[in-house]
């Protein structure tokens, strides 16, 4: 079928520095925090000096260094494109607001200075009981939730859970004397660099004073939290004789749930990466050990050096399928989102995955004209000009799957609904 060529979108790469640097998830958190006014720009290690185009793992230009206004640490980069958003409460735009906007709101009509309370881990009863006294007679209260793009360590509560906890604390403060409490999500790298501290960040969000709630945990609660990891083992040792206790511990260590591979395929710009990231975040939040294998990020590491001819693309997809099947074989969930344009490559991935566990093929069927119109990287414009050979959908074919388990058109369905559809299909398979 011949698709009319839509007007080419602006080529976002035009006029940008040729030197590029792909930011890690921590680097993206630092950049977002700086660009929204929450902290000075603290360039991650490895960013070259001079004008540099900063991109995410999908090679989407986000900002340019060396051209912005001054700051205490380094010149602030100039924003080029908005950050890609995912799903979940920590991505709610009503909560993930720019520091300058939050500060402006607090400065309007506040009869007393604001205090910020950082909710960096689930509070025990002792911190919840101490919260009222901690904020004292302050004016507005900001409950600041650090949100890292990197998944939390196994067994730790991530940003979605912390947001739900903070919203409950806001309700408690509102009920207790009618304090005005607002939850704010703050981009925060999993490994914060030197020079990034909560007091300065809180001040930039408009707080006269900033407290980290976990710092006010009682000594007794701290000791009990420290024992949580060993409570089960202690009880098993007390209840069972040594041989039986050892066997129970061994069985617990080797317990393994059924794994799965959720494999997205679709054109560049179809929305598959956005839905895949949102799905992985939700599954991770529910305790399913989830690994995201996004197409562009894999190209930087697992398939570095491969070209874009058919043989190289097939090899790239097979490598993704192999790694995904390993994750599944160990009881995890692998979420992969390459273009995977050829039926033969997808069939090989299905074969590998079904040997290890469950397999779910998701076709993100967003039409070519929509993908081209929303192009964030300017790739379609380059392909139309002949600058990118063998570009899927333009000069290289895309073989639409006929065996997809779920079909989604992101021009008709939003991210949350798309994730819900995939989750329903996955749950049906896992329950079956």
Domain-ending residue, one of 36, 58, 79: 79
pLDDT beyond 90 at 8: no
pLDDT beyond 70 at 11: no
The angle formed by the CA atoms of residues 316, 317 and 321, to the nearest 5 degrees, is: 120
What does the mean pLDDT of the chain come to?
Answer: 86
pLDDT of residue 250: 78
pLDDT of residue 182: 92
Residues 249 and 264 in one domain: no
Ligand-binding annotation for 270, yes or no, is yes
pLDDT of residue 143: 96
Residues 207 and 237 in one domain: no
Q: Where residue 267 falls among pLDDT bands split at 50, 70, 90?
A: very high
Residues 180 and 93 in one domain: yes
Q: Is residue 370 part of a domain?
A: yes
Q: Distance from first CA to last CA of the chain, Å, rounded?
A: 39
Q: Is residue 389 part of a domain?
A: yes
Q: Is residue 9 part of a domain?
A: no
List, for residues 408-428, the tens digit of each pLDDT value.
999 999 988 999 999 999 988
d(CA 90, CA 56): 19
Q: Is residue 8 part of a domain?
A: no
Q: Where residue 213 falls among pLDDT bands split at 50, 70, 90?
A: very high
Ligand-binding annotation for 273, yes or no, is yes
Task: Give the residue-averaged pLDDT of 333-358.
Answer: 93
pLDDT beyond 50 at 10: no
pTM of this structure: 0.75
Ligand-binding annotation for 27, yes or no, is no
Residues 148 and 52 in one domain: no
Looking at per-residue confidence, does 153 or 222 come out higher? 222
Ligand-binding annotation for 139, yes or no, is no
Contacts by residues 45-50 (CB-CB < 8 Å, ≥ 24 positions apart): 46/21, 47/21, 48/19, 48/21, 50/17, 50/19
Residues 284 and 400 in one domain: yes
pLDDT of residue 7: 38
Q: Is residue 222 part of a domain?
A: no
- Count of domains for the chain: 4
Q: Where residue 253 falls among pLDDT bands split at 50, 70, 90?
A: low
The angle formed by the CA atoms of residues 122, 124 and 129, to the nearest 5 degrees, is: 120
Residues 194 and 94 in one domain: yes
pLDDT beyond 50 at 102: yes
Continuous segment of H or E residues that includes residue 336: strand 333-337
Ligand-binding annotation for 15, yes or no, is no
Centroid of chain to Cα 7 = 32
pLDDT beyond 60 at 184: yes
Q: Is residue 408 part of a domain?
A: yes
Residues 276 and 383 in one domain: yes
pLDDT of residue 9: 42
Looking at per-residue confidence, does 114 or 139 come out higher? 114
pLDDT of residue 361: 96
d(CA 311, CA 381): 25
Q: Is residue 142 part of a domain?
A: yes
Residues 108 and 152 in one domain: yes
Residues 63 and 197 in one domain: no
pLDDT beyond 70 at 305: yes
**Secondary structure (3-state) at 321:** helix
What is the DSSP secondary structure assignment for residue 4, as one 8-state letter? P
pLDDT beyond 70 at 121: yes
Q: Which domain holds residue 249?
A: 227-253
Q: Which of 15-19, 104-108, 219-223 has the lowest mean pLDDT?
A: 15-19
Q: Beta 358-364 vs 406-408: how paired, if at all?
A: parallel
Ligand-binding annotation for 269, yes or no, is yes
pLDDT of residue 124: 93
Residues 264 and 136 in one domain: no
Q: Is residue 11 part of a domain?
A: no
Ligand-binding annotation for 325, yes or no, is no
pLDDT of residue 347: 95
pLDDT of residue 39: 95
Residues 131 and 108 in one domain: yes
Q: Which residue is it, tokens 């707080």?
A: 207
pLDDT of residue 335: 96
Continuous segment of H or E residues that includes residue 349: helix 343-356
In contact, 324 and 298? CB cutoff 8 Å: no
Q: Where residue 197 falls among pLDDT bands split at 50, 70, 90?
A: very high
pLDDT beyond 50 at 58: yes
Q: Where residue 120 falls among pLDDT bands split at 50, 70, 90?
A: very high
Look up the CATH number of the domain holding residue 146: 3.40.50.620
List, for residues 321-341, the tens digit of each pLDDT value.
999 999 998 888 999 999 999
Residues 231 and 206 in one domain: no
Task: Give the residue-averaged pLDDT of 22-29.
Answer: 92
Look up the CATH number of the domain holding residue 372: 3.40.50.300
List, for residues 125-177, the tens digit of each pLDDT value.
989 988 888 888 768 899 999 999 988 877 788 899 999 999 999 998 887 76
Task: Give the residue-averaged pLDDT of 25-51.
Answer: 91
């Amino acid at each position: 079928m011949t698709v009319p060529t839509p007007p080419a979108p602006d080529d976002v790469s035009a006029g940008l520095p040729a030197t590029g640097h792909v930011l890690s998830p921590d680097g993206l958190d630092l950049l977002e925090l700086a660009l929204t006014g929450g902290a000075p720009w603290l360039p991650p290690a490895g960013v070259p000096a001079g004008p540099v185009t900063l991109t995410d793992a999908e090679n989407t230009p986000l900002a340019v260094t060396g051209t912005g206004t001054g700051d205490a640490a380094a010149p602030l980069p100039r924003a080029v494109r908005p950050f890609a958003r995912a799903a979940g409460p920590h991505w709610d735009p009503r909560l993930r607001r720019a520091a300058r906007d939050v500060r402006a709101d607090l400065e309007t009509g506040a009869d007393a200075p604001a205090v910020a309370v950082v909710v960096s881990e689930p509070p025990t009863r002792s911190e919840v009981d101490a919260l009222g006294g901690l904020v004292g007679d302050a004016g507005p209260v900001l409950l600041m939730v650090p949100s890292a793009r990197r998944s939390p360590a196994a067994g730790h509560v991530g940003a979605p859970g912390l947001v739900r906890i903070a919203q409950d604390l806001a309700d408690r403060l509102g009920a207790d004397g009618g304090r005005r409490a607002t939850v704010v999500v703050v981009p925060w790298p999993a490994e914060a660099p030197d020079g990034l501290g909560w007091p300065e960040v809180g001040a930039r969000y408009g707080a006269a004073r900033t407290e980290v709630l976990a710092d006010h945990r009682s000594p007794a609660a701290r000791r009990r939290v420290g024992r949580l990891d060993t409570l089960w083992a202690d009880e098993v040792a007390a209840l069972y004789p040594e041989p039986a206790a050892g066997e129970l511990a061994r069985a617990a260590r080797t317990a393994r749930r059924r794994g799965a591979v959720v494999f997205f395929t679709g054109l560049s710009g179809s929305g598959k990466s956005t839905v895949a990231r949102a799905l992985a975040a939700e599954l991770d939040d529910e305790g399913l050990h989830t690994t995201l294998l996004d197409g562009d990020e894999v190209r930087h590491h697992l398939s570095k050096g491969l070209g874009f001819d058919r043989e190289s693309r097939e090899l790239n997809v097979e490598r993704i399928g192999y790694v995904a099947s390993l994750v599944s074989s160990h009881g995890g969930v692998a979420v992969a989102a390459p273009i995977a344009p050829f039926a033969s490559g997808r069939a090989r991935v299905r074969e590998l995955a079904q040997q290890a566990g469950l397999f779910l093929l998701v076709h993100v069927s967003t039409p070519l004209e929509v993908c081209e119109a929303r192009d964030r990287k300017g790739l379609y414009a380059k392909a139309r000009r002949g600058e990118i050979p063998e570009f899927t959908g333009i000069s290289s074919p895309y073989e639409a799957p006929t065996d997809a388990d779920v079909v989604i058109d992101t021009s008709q369905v939003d991210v949350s609904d798309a994730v819900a559809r995939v989750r329903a299909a996955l749950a049906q398979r896992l329950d079956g």
